[in-house]
Structure formats: structure tokens, C-alpha cells
Amino acid sequence: MKKVVLLGFKGDACGKIYNPVLIDLAKKGKIDLICVDFGLPENVLNSPSLKEMETLLKSRKVSYLNLSDPADKIAYQNLSDIDVVFIVTPDITHCKIANDFLGKAKRIFIEKPLDAILRNVRIIEDFPNVEKIVFGYDHYLAKFYPFEVKTDIWLKENLIGKLEKIEFSLLEPGKIPNHRLKALDKGMIYDFFPHALAVIVAVPSPFAYPDVKFLKKVKLHRVLTAKYLGCKINGVTFGKIDFEISLKESIFCQAIIGKGVGKFPEKTLRIIGTEGEIFVDIQKFYYFILNKEKKKVKEGKLLSDYPKEFILSALDFKKKLSQIPGALPFESAKEILYILDEARWIKQPLGKPPIYKINSSVSEIEKKIEERISKKN
């Protein structure tokens, strides 16, 4: 039976993705599950419910360590012989926690981004063979797994002609929930943009994840940012990022990301060529390919059961990294963090970001940004 450690299980990411699958495996006696958190936040999704967790603890099918308890902290420090660790805590803690398990665990998966502080990566990057132990994970990349396996082949076959542009939109009309304000304090550049980078750069990459060689070819051109009225985080809530992937022929890319934008969610990917287009409706887990005459020539589905597929693959040591949906190499995850750091420093306009009303359209927000930039000039 594999020993699995899950850190941050009270948070909403665990409630949505990890807890249902891992607890089910523990109840069936397939894994020895140890859930760890820091006492806060509350279990915001009630997944599992307090009553269910008490039953699991009494049955000894799941162990729980609260690091605000001195006895549990000692038990945590004494953990050893671990097969897989999943780190789903606030991003500023990621590498420090990973360091706790180097030499103790066979595999460590870190939720995107690798960390929120570039310097923290130094804590773990010099550990021998760290790239064989520590991996990044992006749940959007997991959704795209069966799609990303094929994209580089489609491009080589000139299915849509010469690749001209890749566009990614991840826009949500709602505000950041109060329980996520602390976790998302650095804003959408660190929360939504990693999804865009991973998915976009994986398109021409030979794997279902963004190859570090391709990530190193990313050149940021313009990063426009704004923030919705009354937002309580330090970071921005809207970003329009123009960049290119400088391969033999440069690929122009654009990511539009934001919270409190529009009246309906917009989550799409467009891959535009001279002879056609690939369109992905991320919310419907569906894609299709159009030829030059706008006739549908292919269609397919994304991976809807991505949490289960990721976790089962991560626990299967016979599976290579390229066979784990959503997983990416340590070096790729680190390079994404470098790009995020650069985006934060070159963002425009300088100073405090322009403020937009909740549910403003992208064009309305862009207008406010351009007006601010014009005044500064």
C-alpha cells in the first residue's frame, strides 16, 4: 500500500480535485492517506464534511495532522518512507514544504505555480536529482491532456496550414471569494497566467506539457493590467499579455485573463493557421478543427475526469511523467515562474492599476488602461 501525504486538504483546490479521489482510495484500502494542514482556513467546501472526516479518523482509514498542534508538528517532522506528496497550499509556501520531503518521498507534485517567490526555488533546486522527484502540476493542462498529445502532430501535418497565432481566454465574472483573498494576494498574473502559459506553450511542444526549451523561447512584449473596484488583494485581477514563442518562425500568442470581467465565463483556446483553425471550449471540454472553408474536419473531447486520471497516474510509478495528465517537469515549472516574475515587473501602466467596475467588458477595461498609459506619457 502506497503512503500518500496531502498538504492543504481544507482548501478549495483540495476539496474540488484531491479530496474526493484520495479519500475514496483510502476508504477502499488502496492507499495510506495522511492529510496535513496548518489549522486554517476552514474547510470552505465542506469536502469532506466534518462528520465524514471524524468517521474516517475513527476508522483509521485516514490520518490527520494539524501543524498548529505541537504534537502533530513533531509527527509531521518524523514522517518518512513516503511514496507520493501532493502540495496544495498557498503558493508562497510551496518550495519550503517540498524541502520538508526531499529525501523522504519518491515523488512530490506541486500545484501551480511552483512558488510565488522566485528565491524560494533555491531551497530545493540543488538537491541531488531534484528533477526526478519534484514536479509541477496544472489542472488546466490536465484537462487538455488528450488534446495536447496531438497538437504538435497536427501542426507538423499542416492541418491548419502555417501556425499564425494562439489565443487563450480565461475570464470569470465573479469576484475573488473572501476565503481565497490571502492565497491569491499576488493576483491573476500568478493564478491564471500559469494556466495560459502551460496550455499555449504545450501546443507546439513534442509532449503534452510545455517543454522547457520552448518556455525559454518565450518573449514577453506587453503586459496590460487592471483591478476591479473594491478588490482587497495586492495583485491585479485583469491581464492582457502579448508574447511570442521564438522558434524557427515566431508564434504570436495572447492571453486575456481576469476576475470580475464580463457577465458570463469565457474560457477558450484558439489556434489560428493560414488554412484553418482549432477551437477549444474549455468549459464544455470540447474542441473542433475547421479548414479554410470553415468546414469541421475533426472534433474531440478534453479530459473531464482529470482529477482521477492525474492522481491515479501520479501514484503509478510505471508511468512516465509524460503519461501523467497535468504534470510538468521541475525545470518547466521553474521557467514558468521566471516568466511570471518578468511579467510582474514589466506590467503597464506603472503605479497603481486602473480600476474597473465588476462585470466590465474586456474592451471597457482596455480603454481604461490605454487612457492611463496615455496620461503617463
What is the tens place of the pLDDT at every residue in 88-119? 998 999 999 999 999 999 999 999 999 999 99
Q: Specify burial of residue 317 (Cβ count, 10 A radius: 0-12, 13-18, 19+).
A: exposed
* C-alpha grid cell, residue 214: 520552448
Q: What homologous superfamily does CATH list for 2-138? A: NAD(P)-binding Rossmann-like Domain (3.40.50.720)
Task: Compute the average pLDDT of residues 24-40.
Answer: 88
Q: Are strands 296-301 and 286-291 parallel, antiparallel or unpaired?
A: antiparallel
* Phi then psi dihedrals of residue 187, to 5 deg: 90, -175
Query: How much is the pLDDT for 55?
Result: 81
Query: How much is the pLDDT for 183?
Result: 81
Q: Are strands 163-172 and 82-87 parallel, antiparallel or unpaired?
A: unpaired
Amino acid at the residue 376: K
Query: How much is the pLDDT for 140?
Result: 98
Q: How far apart are CA 229 and CA 355, in angstroms?
A: 6
* pLDDT at residue 131 tops 90: yes
Query: How much is the pLDDT for 367?
Result: 97
Query: How much is the pLDDT for 59?
Result: 80
Q: Rg of the Cα trace of the chain?
A: 21
Q: How far apart are CA 254 and CA 273, in angstroms?
A: 15
Find the range with the poorest average confidence among 40-54, 68-82, 224-238, 262-276. 40-54
* pLDDT at residue 184 tops 90: no
| DSSP code, position 349 | S
Sheet holding 266-273, edge to edge: 296-301, 286-291, 276-281, 266-273, 163-172, 251-259, 238-245, 218-228, 355-356
16 confidence band (pLDDT: 50, 70, 90): confident
Q: How far apart are CA 31 and CA 23, in angstroms?
A: 9
Sheet holding 62-66, edge to edge: 62-66, 31-37, 2-7, 82-87, 105-111, 134-137, 327-329
Q: How far apart are CA 11 and CA 120, in angstroms?
A: 22
pTM for this entry: 0.94
- b/e burial code for range 134-153 (CB count within 10 A of at least 16 → b): bbbbbbbbbbbbbbbebbbe
Q: Are strands 251-259 and 163-172 parallel, antiparallel or unpaired?
A: parallel
Q: How far apart are CA 19 and CA 56, in angstroms?
A: 12
Mean pLDDT of the chain: 93
* pLDDT at residue 49 tops 80: no
Q: How far apart are CA 289 and CA 18, in angstroms?
A: 32
- Among residues 193, 190, 191, 215, the alpha carbon closest in space to that of 202 is found at 215
- Top-confidence residue, 81 or 13: 81
* pLDDT at residue 40 tops 70: no
Amino acid at the residue 142: A
Residue ranges, CATH 3.40.50.720, the chain = 2-138
3-state SS, residue 71:
helix
* pLDDT at residue 267 tops 90: yes
Q: May I ask the CATH class of domain 140-303+328-376?
A: alpha beta
249 confidence band (pLDDT: 50, 70, 90): confident
Residue ranges, CATH 3.30.360.10, the chain = 140-303+328-376
* C-alpha grid cell, residue 264: 458570463
Alpha carbon dihedral 184, 188, 192, 198, in 10-degree steps, equals: -110
Query: How much is the pLDDT for 376?
Result: 67
Element (H, E) at 146: helix 145-156
* pLDDT at residue 337 tops 70: yes
Q: Which residue has the cell 501514484?
A: 315
